[in-house]
Chain A
Amino acid sequence: MAGKCLALVVPASLAQRVRTMLQQRGWFNPRFRVVRNEDGSASIPVISCDVSDWFALLKEAGLETNKTLGTLTWRLAEDIEFPLSRHTPSPHELLVKAISSILELHKDSPERPPDWRDQLPRRWERHGDLAIIDQQAFASPFWDSFGPELWTAVTKALGVRRLAKQGRVQPDGYRTPAVTLLLGSDGVVERRENGISYTWDVRTCMFSAGNAHEKQRAAMWDCTGETVCDMYAGIGYFTLPVLVHSRAKLVLACEWNPNALHWLSVNLQQNGVSNRCRILPGDNRKAPAYHLLLEAFLIICIIRLLFFSKSYRPLDRTQLTQAEEEELIREWQPEPLVPAHPSPPYLNYRVVSGAAGKFVTVDNRECLNLSSLNFLGFLESPRIKAAALSSLRKYGVGTCGPRGFYGTFDVHLQLEEKLASMMATQEAIIYAYGPSAISSAIPAYAKRGDVVFADMAVNLPMQQGLAASRSNVRWFRHNDLDHLEMLLQEQAADDRKNPKKARVVRRFVVVEGIYLNTGNVCPLPELVQLKYRHNFRIFLEESLSFGVLGDTGRGLTEHFGIKVEDVDLICSTMENSLATIGGFCCGRSFIIDHQRLSGQGYCFSASLPPLLTSAALEALDMIEEKPEMFKELREKCRLLYDSVQGIPELSVGGAPISPVLHIRLAEPSQSRERDIATLEAIVESCAQEGVAITLARCIEKDEVFPPSPSIRLAVNVELTQEEIQKAAAVLRSAASRHLLE
């Protein structure tokens, strides 16, 4: 199509700018299009007007006019042939035109609203040959009188055949659209989008064309082999792209609008994917009856499992027949109860005849005794014997019962009171056996889950107590409080991670006053400082320090001048200094009283024989009456310590104030047995020269950290200076004989 028109010819490079300026002034003829000429100019269709106006315009565009025509940068040309502009009247323009013509026909209708143009539809949706106009269009009742004539005009203008009018979407669960069909017989429409055909009835189902991008995005997911659930499937809005393009294995489509369901199945069939979609119609929140039954059945099963079944035992066992069982039983050979030939070195005990006092008759040879832990020489004290004898004449020997069942004698109460007052604690409790005091006390407090920090050198009864407590035991190096502090800090770090647990985990530190296994003294003051920094409780075992250390023999706390309350529990045997039998614990009533029901060795054992109790009472009296013996004892300890220094090939372990010293091989061999044999030979030599000493015995396999073999020397306050020096000399010569060969 072409037509003729006045043209303004300008250089092609300026054509665009000029055309814009012309359009602004309304001089551009919109019916035609700009034509590019072969000579590099362009012809712009213009509406004819006064020439003088051109000058102003073209000057503004930067084109000169006073040049010869040959060099003219622009000219006007009449009747140039132009192609027609692509512009076609918009549907709205057509609509206005069509309605105007109808209104022309019905000029006589008086009620024509003055704003009739505004009531024409502004937006409409087109689905195939059906248009849905918006709700506000033709709102006035004025239009009603026209009937189909009007609607036909509208359809023509919009280029469709059917017409419907949008209403408000109903607020029901189905979001039913309120669409009224104005022209046409039905509302079924089809739409193709991304290669998928959607069919639905506009009167009953929604379709939002604006979501095309979202659908495209869904179509791009790779769902190969997957099962997809479309919770609100509608007519297959997303179900179809996922099935067609994403290649899902199966789509579960939930929908409850029956109309949508109808079209969903139609769409699935039309797109040939109905075999890969399972429709779950109806309200899927509502459980069907069979579901309720299933749930009830499961609940019954759970109840049965919880309350009516025997304890759960995994069936990992194969059922054996009776004959097979019998054969297994026949074949089983247990290990012997004890090894047929035990080979420990201490099978043959040395036999002591008579009392093992300052002098002792070992295997019929009288020796000076440096092996009994009879530090105060009370074993032979006539005073103690007399007290015990009068007790024996009153009470007999045994108690024939535990403390709870008539095994509490008045002397027990007296002894407990005496111990408590002597140790300046609130309460004391006595046990019938030395080792059972500490090994019952520890598990009375420390339970599973608690943390006990223990010195690596603690004696075996303490280790047994720790084992019985089932607590978490952290071992720190012997007397190494830096190591202890490190462990405490580790614990503190753990506590910070788990503060809830930290609130219930009790912390204990168990130490010995003087270590039986090493003879070293526990650095109590530093430990007490640590205690208040890290909030742990101290259990102190004083078997070697009670009746030894301190100016009046009260033990380690007195030695260091520490308040007794700073130590939570002090425990000791009465079998060393006091030279009787049994043990005791003392401390605050808050702590000690608990053992009266929880200390196993206290509750479930016969109580201490009264004669032994009376002996302990008498021994305590003697300690109180003659405190100077402790000074003497310390001097003797120091003397022994000095005397045994410098023996070739032997090293001395233990503190100068300790009543026990450990003599070890300076260079132990690889074999424990050989070391024991060497030391044993020294002991035997000493015995031949009239000095009874002994190896510190231990059962290596049961010790957590077996101490290296040693000879344990013990001081008795009654030993004279000469006797101690003699004993040291005998040891020295025996050692040199055996070690320097």
Chain B
Amino acid sequence: MMSYLCPPRTVQQMTKMWRNVKRTPEEDSPHGPYKVPFHESFEETPMMVAVITYMGYGVLTLFGYLRDFLRSRGIEHCHNAMEREEQKDFVPLYQDFENFYTRNVYMRLRDNWNRPICSVPGACFDVMERVSDDYNWNFRFTGNILQGVINMGSYNYLGFAENKGPCMEAAAEVMQTYGVGVCSTRQEIGNLDKHEELEELTAKFLGVEAAMAFGMGFATNSMNIPALVKKGCLILSDELNHVSLVLGARLSGATIRIFKHNNMKSLEQLLREAIVHGQPRTHRPWKKILIIVEGIYSMEGSIVRLPEVVVLKRKYKAYLYLDEAHSIGAVGPTGRGVVDYFGMDPRDVDIMMGTFTKSFGAAGGYIGGSKALVDFLRANSHSAAYATSMSPPVAQQIISSMKCIMGDDGTTIGQDRITQLLRNTRYFRQRLRNLGFVIYGNDDSPVVPLLIYLPAKTGAFGREMLKRRIGVVVVGFPATTIIESRARFCVSAAHTREMLDTVLKEMDEVGDLLNVKYSRHRRQQQLTEEPVY
């Protein structure tokens, strides 16, 4: 799949090369707090497309009501699971309107999600073919396996989702010794030496004093934010933050205010207002202010404006919680995430959070920071006191892959993958733009959202691509705003140029077929930009 035939290079060389890839002479001017050019684009939705999209939802809604009516009269067969006869007189578990969208919109497109696979989620995977005889209410497996589907959906940024190689072997060995589970919590008797090793390594990898690992990325946010802030504290949260951050913030009891996505003016205004006016009603000063941002936003492909956030955080004495779920390993010359990407000091960020699910091909999450922070979490984190600790083979997978990225395994495989990912990302993004698609996000973000807008086309795009043996993720409302339904590609270091070219060729066709090449910058860009790989 991938060849790592490049001669070994030092990290310094790699960094230089990485910088060279992205820097062109005329861009060498100062970029404010940024050491590298920072270019993100969010092309405006064409008015006509927006109107048609709204109309599309209108039609779907009308038909939804019609079909609900037919179902209620028994004219159309109702596939919904039913309440138990004995509990018919209970208060209904769901309000009827709650499931209107699920029943009448999601159900039409449902085959695009939860597609079962039966292989390693690497650059290619095997998808189990399934069909529905009743318009997506139920699925039936045909028994066929769609083999070698190019995987553009998994968060396998550095290609560590592997079923062979040194990482896997190490994990297998650890599993033989430790078993699969732990059956206890970190604070009780589930603190294995593997966990300590992992945490030490993570701290080193991140360049922070200490780190702590948790069994689940989602829970890292939802169970640790409540330990850090409480009532009387203020959380300033980006509007597109992940659900786990939102849940953690809610559970904390702190006041939550939302700033516009990656909008520093909005953030600064909230900060000023918060400090000047204090808490609502009592006007007491806030105990702490915590800014929560993500490194790469998984639905937008945007990278946080970290240098500016840090300037603001310092100026207003706020604390910064950075969720690097998608960025750790995926950006930065040495794969250390957005801090590395901007060439900043990891100590500028108070709470470095991330997951091991994506770039490391494992599971779980971490929090890194000062020793005081980590000590505090060891004593106060819900994950440490109430949740079974991380599975040892999973911990080993992280250790192995992290060492690989750091070059501690004595190879440059990790560094090569980082470079490969960047090359793939830029190439893929540039080609897509040249084809005339509307692409969101940062040029260097391996998360590539492609705007489709119309829900019906979204479904058709996903199906059409699978037909062509390409697995893509499509998302719509409520994960996005109502008109911005999109497909999302996750570029991986494991993708070869051939694979990307295949994907691009098929997409060119599908794009014409579905008429989703909405970009209005297309022509002029084609003339000026020549794709480089």
Q: Which residues of A contact B (CB under 8 A)?
A: 317, 320, 325, 328-329, 332-340, 342, 344, 346-347, 349-357, 360, 362, 369, 371-374, 378-381, 384-385, 388-389, 392-401, 403-410, 412-413, 426, 432-436, 439, 445, 459-461, 464, 467-468, 502-507, 532, 535-537, 565, 568, 573, 575-576, 578-581, 588-591, 593-594, 596-597, 600-601, 603-606, 608-609, 611-612, 615, 692, 694-699, 702, 712
Contacts and interface: CB of A to CB of B under 8 A. Distances in A.
Given A385-B180, A594-B94, A600-B243, A406 B376 contact: no
B86 A532 contact: yes
Given A578-B181, A609-B362, A696-B188, 14 more contacts: A338-B373, A344-B380, A349-B191, A374-B183, A397-B362, A398-B161, A398-B357, A405-B153, A504-B91, A535-B89, A537-B90, A575-B388, A608-B363, A611-B180
A516 B358 CA distance: 33
A385 B175 contact: yes
A390 B249 CA distance: 40
B316 A468 contact: no
B386 A460 contact: yes
A347 B375 contact: yes
Shortest 6 CB-CB distances between A and B: which pairs?
Answer: A344-B379, A433-B216, A338-B376, A605-B218, A349-B191, A400-B154
Contacts of B285: 332
Interface in B190-223: 190-193, 196, 215-219, 222-223
B156 interface: yes
Contact of A433 (B87, B155, B387): B387
Contact of B244 (A325, A426, A605, A609): A605
11 contacts: A334-B317, A356-B182, A407-B121, A409-B118, A464-B382, A504-B91, A537-B93, A590-B80, A590-B82, A697-B385, A699-B386
A575 B181 contact: yes
B50 interface: no
Contact of A580 (B89, B180, B186): B180
Contacts of B122: 396
Contact of B251 (A372, A408, A464): A464
B272 interface: yes
B361 to A, nearest CB: 4
Given A460-B386, A581-B215, A699-B380, A353 B192 contact: yes
B151 interface: yes
B434 interface: no
B179 interface: yes
Contacts of B89: 535
A406 B172 CA distance: 24
Interface stretch (B55-63, B286-294, B404-412, B449-457): B286-294
A505 B223 CA distance: 29
B336 interface: no
Nearest to B114: A408
A655 B95 CA distance: 40
B263 interface: no
A515 B91 CA distance: 28
B277 interface: yes
A397 B181 contact: no
A612 B394 CA distance: 9
Given A409-B116, A591-B93, A434 B388 contact: yes
A698 B175 contact: no
B169 to A, nearest CB: 10
Nearest to A328: B276
B288 A335 contact: yes
Contacts of A385: 175-176, 179-180
A349 to B, nearest CB: 4
A662 B167 CA distance: 41
Given A507-B91, A590-B81, A604 B373 contact: no
Given A356-B189, A410-B128, A580-B181, A606 B363 contact: yes
A354 B178 contact: yes
A352 B189 contact: yes
B172 A393 contact: yes
A426 B138 CA distance: 14
B153 A401 contact: yes
Given A398-B363, A401-B154, A579 B181 contact: yes
B114 A403 contact: yes
A404 B114 contact: yes
Contact of B180 (A320, A436, A581, A605): A581
B4 interface: no
B189 A397 contact: no
Interface string B351-395: 100011110111100000000110111111010011110111110
Contacts of B190: 352, 356, 372
A355 B177 contact: yes
> Which of B91, B161, B244 has the most CB atoms of chain A within a 10 A radius of its CB?
B91
A317 B272 CA distance: 14
A615 B180 contact: yes
A325 B272 contact: yes
A162 to B, nearest CB: 79
Given A337-B319, A384-B179, A385-B176, A394 B119 contact: yes
A372 B184 contact: yes
Contacts of A615: 180-181
Given A408-B116, A600-B243, A604-B242, A397 B171 contact: yes
Nearest to B226: A702
Given A601-B218, A612-B180, A320 B156 contact: no
B222 to A, nearest CB: 8
Contacts of A337: 228, 288, 319, 350-351, 372-373
B72 interface: no
B113 A396 contact: no
A355 B89 CA distance: 51
Contacts of A381: 179
Contacts of B181: 374, 378-379, 575, 578-581, 612, 615
A320 B278 CA distance: 13
Contacts of B121: 395-396, 398-401, 406-407
Contacts of B115: 406, 408
A460 B223 CA distance: 11
Contacts of B387: 433-435, 461
A605 B181 CA distance: 19
A353 B93 CA distance: 47
Nearest to B376: A338
B514 to A, nearest CB: 21
Given A337-B288, A580-B391, A694 B184 contact: yes
Given A335-B288, A398-B360, A601-B219, A349 B378 contact: yes
B192 A356 contact: yes
B202 to A, nearest CB: 16
A335 B234 CA distance: 12
A443 to B, nearest CB: 9
A699 B185 contact: no
Given A406-B115, A434-B388, A609-B363, A389 B216 contact: no
Interface string B258-301: 00000000000000100111000000011111000000000000
A248 to B, nearest CB: 46
Contacts of B82: 590
A392 B187 contact: no
Contacts of B362: 397-398, 609
A399 to B, nearest CB: 6
Nearest to A373: B183
B479 to A, nearest CB: 9
Contacts of A504: 91, 95
Nearest to A532: B86
A174 B191 CA distance: 99
Contacts of A576: 183
A384 B180 contact: yes
A609 B188 CA distance: 24
B394 A609 contact: yes
Contacts of B391: 580-581, 609, 612
Contacts of A435: 219, 223, 382, 386-387
